[in-house]
């Protein structure tokens, strides 16, 4: 009889484990959705910003003679904008943002090529976007920058932000909401890592800029594992307390 009771409790324990795991998965899904919404909004803001830039760019080009190369680059920028909008409508996970920001980076480089062709300048060297806000477009130089509490690093910057840093002023940093706080996008947590890597990932190993995101990812993993283990432990602890009472 005791063996049957023991086996029954083991089955009950297994059910507890399954229930805890399912609850953890549900919480993880809810957490993922909460992470996705602000990153998705960020991506749509960047898409909208490119659309406004293209409208202004079209006004600048009005009446200008475009050669075949300029027309091809301009069409490439327009196609990239359409592709970014389509990809934005299909976002289901933060990692999808990487594809979108990669498209936006390519569009802005194409626009820079159009400007160079129209003005008779050599095509620009393909550099990373401005680190402080990728919407600023192609960087023109690297500047030494130390975020609060961080070590100085050379980061790509647009002309305006490079000048701000040189004179000791604060650059125009892209801010995101984390809870009730506004922080630089590179401190926004692991969900923002794909956003950044879409802009910068094609330019070589730049992970040092996003070490905070990497550590944030490991912290989140540890918290998740800890919560799951705690839930299982509570469930099994109650089960074995019951066994002890019976025997």
Least-confidence region, from 81-85, 109-113, 123-127, 177-181:
177-181
145 within 8 A of 129, measured Cβ to Cβ: no
pLDDT tier for residue 246 given thresholds of 50, 70 and 90: very low
* E strand segments, the chain: 141-145, 153-157, 175-178, 181-184
Cα–Cα distance measured from residue 84 to residue 107, given in angstroms and rounded to the nearest whole number: 10
Of residues 218 and 238, more confidently modeled: 238
pTM of the model: 0.73
143 within 8 A of 104, measured Cβ to Cβ: no
Per-domain boundaries in the chain? 45-126+174-223
Distances (CA, A) of 209 to 60, 77, 85: 35, 27, 27
pLDDT at 35: 73
Of 131, 128, 228, 245, the residue nearest 184 (C-alpha): 131
pLDDT at 148: 75
Mean pLDDT of 195-208: 79
pLDDT at 234: 54
Each residue's pLDDT tens digit, 89-98? 999 888 899 9
Each residue's pLDDT tens digit, 55-77? 999 999 998 889 999 999 999 99
Look at residue 88 and tell me whether its pLDDT is greater than 80. Answer: yes
């Amino acid at each position: 009889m005791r063996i049957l009771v023991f086996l029954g409790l083991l089955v009950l324990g297994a059910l507890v484990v399954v229930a805890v795991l399912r609850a953890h998965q549900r919480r993880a899904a809810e957490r993922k959705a909460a992470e996705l919404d602000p990153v998705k909004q960020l991506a749509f803001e960047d898409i909208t910003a490119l659309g406004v830039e293209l409208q202004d760019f079209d006004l600048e080009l009005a009446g200008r003679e475009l050669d075949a190369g300029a027309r091809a680059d301009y069409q490439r920028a327009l196609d990239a904008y359409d592709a970014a909008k389509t990809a934005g409508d299909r976002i289901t996970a933060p990692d999808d943002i990487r594809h979108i920001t990669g498209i936006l980076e390519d569009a802005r480089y194409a626009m820079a090529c159009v400007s160079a062709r129209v003005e008779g300048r050599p095509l620009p060297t393909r550099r990373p976007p401005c680190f402080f806000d990728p919407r600023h477009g192609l960087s023109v130089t690297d500047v030494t920058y130390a975020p609060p509490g961080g070590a100085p690093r050379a980061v790509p910057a647009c002309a305006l932000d490079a000048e701000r840093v040189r004179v000791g002023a604060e650059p125009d940093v892209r801010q995101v909401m984390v809870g009730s706080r506004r922080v630089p996008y590179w401190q926004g947590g692991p969900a923002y890592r794909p956003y950044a890597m879409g802009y910068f990932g094609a330019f070589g190993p730049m992970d040092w800029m996003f070490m905070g995101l990497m550590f944030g990812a490991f912290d989140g993993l540890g918290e998740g594992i800890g919560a799951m283990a705690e839930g299982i432990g509570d469930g099994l602890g109650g089960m074995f307390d019951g066994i002890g009472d019976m025997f």
